[in-house]
Structure 1
């Protein structure tokens, strides 16, 4: 019997160290930073904690060891991420976006690019280095991102254009919701940028990925003000004849920007899902403590009432189910060269939506008192609401990827059960992108 849910001593050590960081370094700054009206200032207030995370090896833990990263497995990453997310998933998103922004370089870049960008990311003496993931675009008509792989030329699909001019690409257009504007609205140090290199082709052929560097001329940033994940930096980015060197084109992503998007959001699926577990865990522990110490006017604490015990018991069970699914999806990534386009999407969809309901169930147990800020449910609910709609929205992108795979006549519905590799290809894209 090889199935084993017991963490190794190394994993327990990792969990303990990240929990210690989250409770003693991160938590003290969360409340004030979250309440800061200026989103850029709030983000900057997390910088000292981020530097400590960098120096502790947390911030770049997912990058390959041969380039100075932690080289940890996806399972290890999920174990560590839960501890940060239980305190603040927005800060965890800042750390995660190092992976979203830099792992595509490891997957699709050449050796020179890996040495140039990944080594720089893992050897910053200031500890401030940020990676970024820049794919999403602003809403409009036509605009947006969910149907990025629509099989039509512009103006459908991704609108950010990159036209080659000598040794550069000239880039024009806008991005919206990218992972970061950097500490000072001058951009992250380096990250992956999805562009349209061929406007005459659809999204399965015309997209590519470039590495966007900090202080690139012609690029301006504006932080977005959000109701949730306020400690994560998201921005509007405007490209006005920005010039990005052709040397920053990821060779494996030329004409395959669509596959970069799908693989990246599959890789991050279990981490987004474990963030939801962290939120539900925090809500459950708060509600359980409340139920054991409050009588609601009865003679004994309400934990003795059946409805309270049943609801909290269901929540606890669902958290365990969700965590197991996250570990399973991460294990699948580790076994299949960090590909889990089907399992990663399924995991992200189901766990984030289930855990949002769990947070609300805990609020019902606490009742009207859950509205008082001292219990923290307002923030938990705001953060939990983010998870189903970001990181590749469940309705706009994740479910469509699942649909594309299971609609394939060759799909084996028992593949996950049998731990088979379910390959995701261009034939699985574009489903449902054309109305009617």
Structure 2
């Protein structure tokens, strides 16, 4: 039969190998690292686990085998991701960003760039090699990057500029929230892919590109951001002051298409973020269920025997199952459509992350005030679940707007996803809601 939710032996092995790593290598360090007040030190405490994941092939499992990567399909990737995220989604985010930083090189880079960067990434004897990805910028007026594809010139949209000067780009400006870019010591990842503006006079659908900035580039400084959730992955503020980057580091196919790079990246990561929410909700649900089967709340029998508790936990279990299979569907779609899934990736990320934030809180209500005691894990689950809807292309600022742009297109087929048909994401679907009086999609 065409539809079969039974994992193949190879898929089951990926899942179980990831579970073994998560439960036996990652889990023992998570609580102490999460409680470390210094965000850079907290990240550094995960380094032994990262090196282990590198040696197991997890750290670059998403890269194609022909370039030294693990060659996992997107379905296999999210099977592994659920297991890791059930223990700590911050660590999983570090691995995810390796993909966000490097996959665009696979999509749009030259053969020389692919071989050079991927070989470095996958053949490090120390197992410490890490990649960063930077699109977001500081809040302000103007500021932020939710409207990165606005047709308006600078200063609207992306503010970091990369101006060609001979055989180099001169980079100036600030990024805020990029992950991994500071590396293990806060001095830079091995390489990071930044979305920059190569022509300040052009709007976001014409003037953006992807530029690799390598560790040790003069004029680049990093400050680690202190976050309330996902504390084991490093977010940074990055300041560029006349940083000179070789022209050869521009991903040629992204010139004028940095907008599509952002949309495609967040389409790929959509079901990964969705399954991360599944993993955290699963952990909260299993903890709440175990609590309900032993805790009496002063009554004569465990609270699981009360209808309300059973009904609430049953609803939570249903949401987790529904979200998991939506993630499988989205990942399968991306596998079948050349790593494109701009519509389904956004829909999946929005639905799963918002539905399962509520599920985590419902689990806390079942446990009651005891869930607020930090000796239990519920406060961590809540902090992690709260991050999902606002990171990785925020649900309000990026994800829903992408869905809106596709649905508003005059050629959109509302049954396309049901029929597994390719939904092409074009520049005509961008810019919606980015200016005060937008031109309707398809009316140009």
Residue 226 of structure 2 corresponds to: 225
Question: Cα offset for 1:373?
Answer: 1.1
Residue 133 of structure 1 corresponds to: 133
User: What is the correspondence of 1:330-341 to structure 2 with a 5 Å cutoff?
Assistant: 330-341=331-342
User: What is the correspondence of 1:337-376 to structure 2 with a 5 Å cutoff?
Assistant: 337-376=338-377
Residue 121 of structure 2 corresponds to: 121
User: What is the correspondence of 1:197-346 to structure 2 with a 5 Å cutoff?
Assistant: 197-346=198-347
Residue 109 of structure 1 corresponds to: 109
Q: Structure 1 length as normaliser, TM-score?
A: 0.99
Question: Cα offset for 1:251?
Answer: 1.1
3-state secondary structure, aligned to 1:370: helix
Residue 98 of structure 2 corresponds to: 98
After superposition, the C-alpha distances for 1:273-303 in whole angstroms (9 at most, x for unaligned) are 1000011000000000000001111111110
Moved over 6 A (4+): none
Q: What is the rounded CA distance, in whole Å, between the counterparts of 1:187 and 1:277 in structure 2?
A: 31
Question: Cα offset for 1:128?
Answer: 0.2
3-state secondary structure, aligned to 1:217: coil
Q: What is the rounded CA distance, in whole Å, between the counterparts of 1:408 and 1:155 in structure 2?
A: 28
Residue 390 of structure 1 corresponds to: 391
Unaligned runs of 5+ in 1: none
Question: Cα offset for 1:11?
Answer: 1.1
3-state secondary structure, aligned to 2:174: strand
Quick check: 1:286–1:375 contact (8 Å CA) kept in 2? no
After superposition, the C-alpha distances for 1:200-222 in whole angstroms (9 at most, x for unaligned) are 11000000111111111110001
Q: What is the rounded CA distance, in whole Å, between the counterparts of 1:433 and 1:99 in structure 2?
A: 28
Question: Cα offset for 1:435?
Answer: 2.6
Residue 8 of structure 1 corresponds to: 8
Q: What is the rounded CA distance, in whole Å, between the counterparts of 1:378 and 1:413 in structure 2?
A: 40
3-state secondary structure, aligned to 1:374: coil
After superposition, the C-alpha distances for 1:227-257 in whole angstroms (9 at most, x for unaligned) are 0000000000000000111101111101100
Residue 33 of structure 1 corresponds to: 33
The two structures, once aligned, show a CA RMSD in angstroms of 0.6
Question: Cα offset for 1:352?
Answer: 0.2
3-state secondary structure, aligned to 1:293: coil
Residue 406 of structure 2 corresponds to: 405
Question: Cα offset for 1:119?
Answer: 1.2
Residue 421 of structure 1 corresponds to: 422
Question: Cα offset for 1:191?
Answer: 2.4
3-state secondary structure, aligned to 1:348: helix
